[in-house]
Amino acid sequence: MNRVAIYPGSFDPLTMGHVDIIKRAAPLFDKLYICISESTAKSYTFSLEERKQLIKECFPSDTIEVVVNKGLTAKVAKELGAQYILRGIRTYMDMEYEKSMDTMNSSLYPDLETIFLFASSHLSTISSSLVKEVAFLGGDISTFVPPNVLNLLLDKVKKNEIE
Ligand code: ADP
């Protein structure tokens, strides 16, 4: 049986933390869907199209596909034929949150497993919101995001589009 996973997240924007998880997980699966969540309750710095494009440019592979999710992640996983949800863990706070999500998903879809990878230690403090904040304040974030993300992020800082 093909091993199919989805990696859901906001990716607002993609950071080296996400890239690291994707690179480490990709060999474990036959197909990995990077699933961008778009919620009307949230506001994003990067548009859906921008987030999608940036990820696609970083992973031009047949086995890694970018999709969009406006609903329930576990439902989308089933629709895509995925048996696994992939998540990254940086802190105890991530762990607490993920535990409750896993419990909920397991009760909704018992045959769906969530696979957790711990963040690599040098990236464990990196989040999309932190890189945006530091970039806005003029800090150098070039080692924490891929080059295409850096360019667009600095562009947004210049145009004052970062909240
Ligand atoms: P969400 O809004 O779903 O938390 P994010 O884009 O912030 O969306 O994160 C998506 C996933 O990537 C989550 O599982 C998160 O824990 C993981 N992640 C984010 N940053 C890192 C990092 N630096 N190292 C490892 N995993 C990370």
3-state helix, strand and coil shares in percent for the chain, rounded to the nearest 5: 45, 20, 35
What is the CA(118)–ligand 1 centre distance, in A? 11
Q: What is the pLDDT along the chain (163 residues), one digit of tens a residue?
A: 799 999 999 999 999 999 999 999 999 999 999 999 999 889 999 999 999 999 999 999 899 999 999 989 999 999 999 999 999 999 999 999 999 999 999 999 999 999 999 999 999 999 999 999 999 999 999 999 999 999 999 999 998 877 6
User: Distance between CA atoms of 11 and 94, rounded to whole angstroms?
Assistant: 16
Give the position, in ligand 1's atom list, of the atom nearest the Cα of 127.
20
Q: Which helix (H) or strand (E) holds 88?
A: strand 84-89
What is the number of other CB atoms lying within 10 angstroms of the CB of residue 160?
8
Report angle CA 115, 120, 121 to the nearest 5 degrees.
Answer: 135
What is the CA(18)–ligand 1 centre distance, in A? 6
The answer to whether residue 122 is catalytic is no
Q: What is the pLDDT, as a whole number, of residue 145?
A: 98
The residue with tokens 């494009």 is 53
The answer to whether residue 132 is catalytic is no
The answer to whether residue 42 is catalytic is yes
Per-domain residue ranges for the chain? Answer: 4-158
Of 3.30.360.10, 3.40.50.2000, 3.40.50.620, 3.30.420.40, which CATH number belongs to 4-158?
3.40.50.620
β-pairing, 113-118 vs 31-37, is: unpaired
